[in-house]
Structure 1
Amino acid sequence: MSMYSQLDSQYINGVWKDGNGKATIQNTNPYSGEVIATYRAASLQDLDDAYETAQEVQKAWAKENPITVQRIMDKAVTYMEENHEEIVDIIIQEIGGTRLKAEFEIGLVTNMIKEASSFPMRMSGSILPSPIDGKENRVYRVPVGVVGVISPFNFPFFLSMKSVAPALATGNAVVLKPHEHTAITGGTMIAKIFEEAGLPKGVLQVVTTEISEIGDRFVDHPVPAAISFTGSTKVGKHIGEVASRNLKEVHLELGGNSALIVLEDADVDYAVSAGVFSRFTHQGQICMSANRIIVHEDVYDEFVQKYADKVKTLTCGDPADSSTIIGPLINERQVQNTVNLIEKGVEEGAHPLVRGQVNGNVVEPVIFTEVTPDMQIANEEFFAPVVAIMKVSSEEQAIAYANASSYGLSGAVHTSDVNRGAEVAKQLESGMIHINDGTINDEPNVAFGGVKNSGVGRLNGEWSLEAFTTTKWISIQHTKRQFPYS
């Protein structure tokens, strides 16, 4: 773990320190079970210290020269490049990500920081006319203040940075709470990167803790003006409720049950490749993963055979082995949830065309066919290498099947007619649809977010700029105004 071995701490006011909570948290390698780090959880007092310090330093940070802020962002990227292999190693050890996944995630983070580095020069305002004589209206864009960020375990480096970098770049201070299973990749490693890049003390705080220690205090604390959460829909709904009671702005990126549609005029071989990538990357532990593949009956048999043949070639096992495609799920609980859902699929009548073994936390691929929209496996999010393939007889039925979900995050449509694909996409109840591509896409300058139970709000590019800032109206009365009474 080399230079990152000391990151089993809290990072509060620029100081690496033990938490004062009662709980001791063990961070383990999901493949080997080896304990990577043991640390004391943050207490309520630690959380108060983090938020209050962030509030104290934020106003000075908001006044920082935009060129200075840009340079810090650029230095963060440089630091990542110089420590690339160590970051890869952390992702493999802490998350169980494969080398392929690690490189993919690092690329996403790099692009996100580079996009955020443009934000200090994009904090533009405007001057607007007034119906009142002699008045000038100025509208300024200003940071919201302090942002609380809660990140998940699946892509913790990226899904933390997705909010952290834009929030910092727009003049906010940030308190970050990573998932307890990925405290380094999703938390303290990010603090280390920005510390080395020259970010002033206190502008970024990292607290690792458990709900048993802090309850809802991270969300209902009086200091943060906005909460950015990425995680399950169940938890996201609770966070949204708590935040709304306290009149906080909330950004929720939640679960998904994405559908990849293969129409009768699709390039089947290409659709197979896209479908395999969309389901089995990082063991299916991606909110945008294609849980459901909806295939027109004219190409169904060909698609299913080629899809199964390709999936059978995927290597499973040790994520440290460069040839591994499918590594471990994050913990035993996720494995058991997956096994239960697989058994439910069989019970409901779905056919397990391919059913791999379960070895420790490694779940080998499972392909279900003969799946109908009413089955549980077609309605719940599989955070695992399990896929449901559904047969349809028309474009209209494909759209209906895709929309028969309480989620609406991502999706894909495969067809030789891109205009047809776009028209189908318009009818799908999803925040993002990709024509002749996979369901897993995230670009730093394009709106990212879902509908229905997949979340609230949009991030990336100008949408992140909007999310982490607010506007302030300042009017100037240049000439004396005539009031209706004196």
Structure 2
Amino acid sequence: MAKVSAVKYPSWSKLPIGGVWKEGSSDRYETVKNPYNGEALAEIKLANKQDIDEAYKKAKEAQAKWAKVSAYEKAALLEKVAEIINERREEIVTLLVEESGSSQVKANVEVDASIGDAREAAKYPFQMEGTIHPSIIPGKENRIYRNPIGVIGAITPWNWPFYLTIRVLAPAIATGNAIVLKADSQTPITGGLLLAKIFEDAGLPEGLINVIVADIAEIGDAMVEHPIPRVISFTGSTAAGQKIGALAGQHLKKAALELGGNNVFIVLDDADVDQAVSAAVFGKFFHQGQICISANRILVDRKVYPQFVEKFKEATAKVKVGNPAEDGNNIGPLINERQVERIVKLIEQSISEGAKVEIKGEVNGQLMSPFVLSEVTNDMAVAQNEIFGPVAAIIPVDSEQEAIEIANSSNFGLSGAVFSGSLERGIEVAHAIETGMIHVNDQTVNVEPTMPFGGEKLSGLGRYCGEAALEEFTTVKWMSIQREPRQFPFS
């Protein structure tokens, strides 16, 4: 791509590689655009395989020193990161709105979640504990030490770029690692460059965070196949995650994968319909539905189905669509035209399969107002695919058991929700759903810094956040100490 003449943020044109902010070595450029109005935000000269190699080698050098830094210094740095994010909230929110199409509400939620993860990560340096255990061998002492992995390779997405990047950066750095991050080329500022600068401003030594913005056609699998990283963290589509997981396995690297979802929102016959509708509208349309844990299939018992559909339509009609920079607008643009085209095809196919259109949304460029489809069956396109857009698919079910069977028929298992007038009944149904996360009398879009985040089946491997992050970004070493001469059967 040719270089453009003018951009809004010319300062975001370089990449932090090996402790130096510099242009990538590729001949290609990437223009970062506002998905709402097409404004050119930044122009970045892309990285190539040579840059990736340099980043990993410099990261390894820096990590050896960082691992020896005291827990108190690491913790103080993470607390400073949280403080800087809070101080720069307005700037970060503006960039999220402009670069990712986030509404004001979504951008602020993303900042809050990021602060929470940074503060939680500040605890991790004090959890790099060693333990002493007895031995079956006389005069021996066994010790177990928790150590950094070393260097982590991370690939992050565009939909929650700031949060889904710090969710990896913060625990990786807190536990003594270095990182090479490939930010999505659609959101490289909020998805990598800005956070690298924030960590730098907080006092992080050079070379520990490296950011790559590159064209996959040019770099291929270099991020995963390079010999230095021992963990590959990926958040994105299941198809890409399967490939990355296979490559990591071939090279005996650990893969932490948070992938797609086909999340159910179940409304049982005894549910408070008003509360269920309120939660479903938020869980479906928050950030245009471009969230891996959005409600994808809304399963409603036939006894309350007509009432639910009517109230859902009324609530959806009040959701405001437009420029995400304006207060009050809940739905902004989809990230690119390909996504719009894909979603429109899913809608058209489902209508041809028999879905009833309750609300026919409008498409204006990358701006899509909500579509509501009723009488959907689980074999229709909108039920079989992760929509990732403002399209509600409402499926009638005849019983609690049918809802469970439909929920578990999917190859995905990321998030879910169950609404019931009886908490115990809701909990029992939630236990029956094959998923990594599920919420009773709440919607599907939840994240907390201390709670394990991840999925089952094709929704991924491993968990992020809380104590789970320690497991993903550290390793353990068994050391035995023979304190007195040992008697061997022969020698």
Band the TM-score falls in, shorter-chain normalisation: over 0.9
**Alpha-carbon deviations, 1:446-468, whole Å to 9, x = none?**
11111111111111111001110
Superposition pairs for residues 383-462 of structure 1, below 5 Å?
383-462=388-467
* Partner residue, 2:386: 381
Q: Secondary structure at the match of 1:378?
A: helix
Tell me if the contact between 2:13 and 2:42 (Cα under 8 Å) persists in the aligned partners.
yes
* Partner residue, 2:332: 327
Tell me if the contact between 1:258 and 1:410 (Cα under 8 Å) persists in the aligned partners.
yes
Superposition pairs for residues 240-319 of structure 1, below 5 Å?
240-319=245-324
Tell me if the contact between 2:7 and 2:41 (Cα under 8 Å) persists in the aligned partners.
no
RMSD, aligned CA = 1.2
Alpha-carbon distance in structure 1 between the residues aligned to 2:274 and 2:66: 52
Q: Secondary structure at the match of 1:298?
A: coil
Tell me if the contact between 1:8 and 1:188 (Cα under 8 Å) persists in the aligned partners.
no
The yes-or-no answer on 1:185 pairing with 2:196 is no
**Alpha-carbon deviations, 1:163-200, whole Å to 9, x = none?**
11001100000111110100000010010110100000
Tell me if the contact between 1:23 and 1:213 (Cα under 8 Å) persists in the aligned partners.
no
Pick the aligned partner of 1:167 from 166, 169, 172. Answer: 172
Q: Secondary structure at the match of 1:67?
A: helix
The yes-or-no answer on 1:202 pairing with 2:207 is yes
Pick the aligned partner of 1:89 from 79, 85, 94. Answer: 94
Corresponding pairs, count? 486
Q: Which runs of 4+ in 1 moved over 6 A?
A: 1-4
* Partner residue, 1:29: 34
Kindly provide the amino acid, as one letter, of the partner of residue 55 in structure 1. Answer: K
Q: Secondary structure at the match of 2:303?
A: helix
Alpha-carbon distance in structure 2 between the residues aligned to 1:8 and 1:349: 49
Kindly provide the amino acid, as one letter, of the partner of residue 40 in structure 1. Answer: K
Kindly provide the amino acid, as one letter, of the partner of residue 86 in structure 1. Answer: E
Tell me if the contact between 2:8 and 2:40 (Cα under 8 Å) persists in the aligned partners.
no
The yes-or-no answer on 1:70 pairing with 2:91 is no
Tell me if the contact between 2:116 and 2:449 (Cα under 8 Å) persists in the aligned partners.
yes
Alpha-carbon distance in structure 1 between the residues aligned to 2:257 and 2:318: 36
Superposition pairs for residues 137-152 of structure 1, below 5 Å?
137-152=142-157
* Partner residue, 1:225: 230
1:59–1:350 Cα change, 3 Å: same
Shift of 1:4: 6.5
Shift of 1:5: 4.7
Kindly provide the amino acid, as one letter, of the partner of residue 42 in structure 2. Answer: A
With the length of structure 2 as denominator, give the TM-score of the two structures: 0.98
Pick the aligned partner of 1:99 from 104, 127, 131. Answer: 104
Q: Secondary structure at the match of 2:320?
A: coil
**Alpha-carbon deviations, 1:201-226, whole Å to 9, x = none?**
00111111111221001001000000
Kindly provide the amino acid, as one letter, of the partner of residue 328 in structure 2. Answer: S
Alpha-carbon distance in structure 1 between the residues aligned to 2:199 and 2:9: 14
The yes-or-no answer on 1:13 pairing with 2:18 is yes
* Partner residue, 1:42: 47
Alpha-carbon distance in structure 1 between the residues aligned to 2:29 and 2:137: 63
Alpha-carbon distance in structure 1 between the residues aligned to 2:116 and 2:431: 28
Alpha-carbon distance in structure 2 between the residues aligned to 1:482 and 1:137: 18
**Alpha-carbon deviations, 1:413-461, whole Å to 9, x = none?**
0011111111101110111110000100111111111111111111111
1:256–1:98 Cα change, 3 Å: same
* Partner residue, 1:58: 63
Q: Which moved more, 1:250-259 or 1:397-406?
A: 397-406
Shift of 1:2: 12
The yes-or-no answer on 1:112 pairing with 2:89 is no
Shift of 1:112: 0.4
Shift of 1:383: 0.7
Shift of 1:352: 1.4
Alpha-carbon distance in structure 1 between the residues aligned to 2:206 and 2:446: 34
With the length of structure 1 as denominator, give the TM-score of the two structures: 0.99
Q: Secondary structure at the match of 2:403?
A: helix
Tell me if the contact between 2:369 and 2:390 (Cα under 8 Å) persists in the aligned partners.
yes
Shift of 1:74: 1.0
Shift of 1:7: 2.0
Alpha-carbon distance in structure 2 between the residues aligned to 1:344 and 1:201: 52
Shift of 1:22: 2.3
Kindly provide the amino acid, as one letter, of the partner of residue 92 in structure 2. Answer: I
Alpha-carbon distance in structure 2 between the residues aligned to 1:278 and 1:404: 21
Shift of 1:376: 1.7
Q: Which moved more, 1:121-130 or 1:241-250?
A: 121-130
Shift of 1:62: 0.7
Q: Secondary structure at the match of 1:388?
A: strand
Alpha-carbon distance in structure 2 between the residues aligned to 1:85 and 1:118: 27
**Alpha-carbon deviations, 1:215-240, whole Å to 9, x = none?**
00100100000000000000000000
Tell me if the contact between 2:9 and 2:42 (Cα under 8 Å) persists in the aligned partners.
no
Shift of 1:14: 2.1
Kindly provide the amino acid, as one letter, of the partner of residue 258 in structure 1. Answer: N
Q: Secondary structure at the match of 1:273?
A: helix
Tell me if the contact between 1:30 and 1:329 (Cα under 8 Å) persists in the aligned partners.
yes
Shift of 1:151: 0.3
Kindly provide the amino acid, as one letter, of the partner of residue 181 in structure 1. Answer: Q
Q: Which runs of 5+ in 1 are unaligned?
A: none
Alpha-carbon distance in structure 1 between the residues aligned to 2:378 and 2:92: 41
